[in-house]
């Protein structure tokens, strides 16, 4: 099957439940992944909305996830750093951690969970922004997996 990621309880291309949005408890869904390439040292995850009115909106940044991890639990703490070495960045809401879907009323928006297998741990401070994470990952991505779901208000 190859490197894959999925949001538990959310069908691929399906509707994101309200609890994971700004209209609900704004908690992150549980994620599971499999078959990271053997040379993977760490993983990084970016959640974004390419349909946002002003351009792609970043909802979540987390990196230096240990290679041995097979997912993230529901409701990941909005902490900058974790005891396993993982770090979270500042989303486009200007907050650390997960910020759920919150599109303007209208058509559904697509939300992409991008999971990256990296050949190193990133030397990037917690609280970094998307552009900094993108720069730090450049040249270190071994493989990428993706999961898309939708949300509409």
User: Which CATH superfamily does the domain covering 4-151 fall into?
Assistant: PEBP-like (3.90.280.10)
Predicted local confidence at residue 1, as pLDDT: 63
Predicted local confidence at residue 5, as pLDDT: 98
Predicted local confidence at residue 44, as pLDDT: 98
Predicted local confidence at residue 49, as pLDDT: 98
Q: Kindly list the distances between the CA atom of residue 73 and the CA atoms of 56, 65, 91, 105, 106, in Å, as whole numbers in the listed order.
A: 25, 13, 19, 29, 30
pTM above 0.95, yes or no: yes
Q: Kindly list the distances between the CA atom of residue 85 and the CA atoms of 5, 58, 123, 124, 131, in Å, as whole numbers in the listed order.
A: 21, 22, 11, 11, 21
Closest CA to 52 of 103, 94, 96, 16: 103
In a structure prediction context, what are the per-residue pLDDT tens digits for the chain, which is 153 residues long? 699 999 999 999 999 999 999 999 999 999 999 999 999 999 999 999 999 999 999 999 999 999 999 999 999 999 999 999 999 999 999 999 999 999 999 999 999 999 999 999 999 999 999 999 999 999 999 999 999 999 999
Closest CA to 48 of 40, 59, 37, 33: 59
């Amino acid at each position: 099957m190859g490197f894959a990621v999925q949001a538990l309880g959310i069908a691929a291309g399906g509707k994101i439940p309200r609890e994971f949005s700004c209209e609900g408890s704004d908690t992150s869904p549980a994620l599971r992944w499999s078959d990271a390439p053997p040379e993977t040292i760490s993983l990084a995850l970016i959640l974004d909305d390419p349909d946002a009115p002003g351009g792609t909106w970043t909802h979540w940044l987390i990196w230096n996830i240990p290679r041995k991890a097979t997912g993230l639990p529901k409701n990941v703490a909005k902490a900058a750093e974790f005891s396993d070495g993982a770090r979270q960045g500042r989303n486009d809401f200007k907050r650390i951690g997960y910020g759920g879907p919150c599109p303007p009323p209208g058509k559904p928006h697509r939300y992409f969970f991008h999971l990256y297998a990296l050949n190193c741990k990133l030397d990037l401070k917690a609280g970094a922004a998307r552009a900094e994470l993108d720069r730090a990952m450049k040249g270190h991505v071994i493989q990428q997996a993706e999961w898309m779901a939708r949300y509409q208000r």
